[in-house]
Chain A
């Protein structure tokens, strides 16, 4: 499909384990965003990439969270030493550029459950 693709769609992991969540943005989109949506809440901004670089990581909750986008396309969100409070839907979004005229498209999300 032509939309933002996220894998896995569901992930159950044990407390303390390491998790990787993958995002494949729309082809040609240079701007990529990660958000986190906890149950009953709206999405919260985590990090923004312009090309390969993390231009704004002010939303990452702590140093257990890290994201990369090595070739300016696919991005991976990495969570170390997972905690039960990390359980949420992790949303990826992309836009052609970081410009108000460009629509931000969201993927369906990766549901992470930490048990």
Chain B
């Protein structure tokens, strides 16, 4: 079984400032890691995912995340945010076994609010 903890429920930031949304996970097996974004009145949209290989993963809209196995973390970063990045962000994990993909365990979400 896996669990995900998003350490901040809300993150306010000014436009053009950098931001980091923190995510820690717990698992007894190897994992795949994901970040999804949910804009108001829209469905979840995949930002990026880590499956294997390079621990630095680049996604859409200028976001990136780094997988740190020793710290069991997968923090999301963006060097300069825009007003349009205001949304709720979810970190998720699944086991890497063939029968586990798609069975995602989500964190509780972090609401990112970008102020002008």
Contact = CB atoms under 8 A, between A and B. Distances in A.
Interface residues of B, number: 25
Nearest to A37: B106
Interface in A23-60: 31, 33, 35, 40-45, 48, 55-56, 59
Nearest to A95: B102
Residues of B contacting A: mostly: loop
Interface stretch (A13-21, A72-80, A103-111): A103-111
B108 A56 contact: no
Interface residues on A, range: 20 to 34
A98 interface: yes
Residues of A contacting B: mostly: loop
B43 A4 contact: yes
Contacts of A42: 4, 90, 92, 106-109
Contacts, number: 60
Contacts of A40: 108
B44 A98 contact: no
A58 to B, nearest CB: 8
B7 interface: no
Interface of B: 4, 32, 36, 41-46, 49, 51, 90, 92, 96, 98-99, 101-109
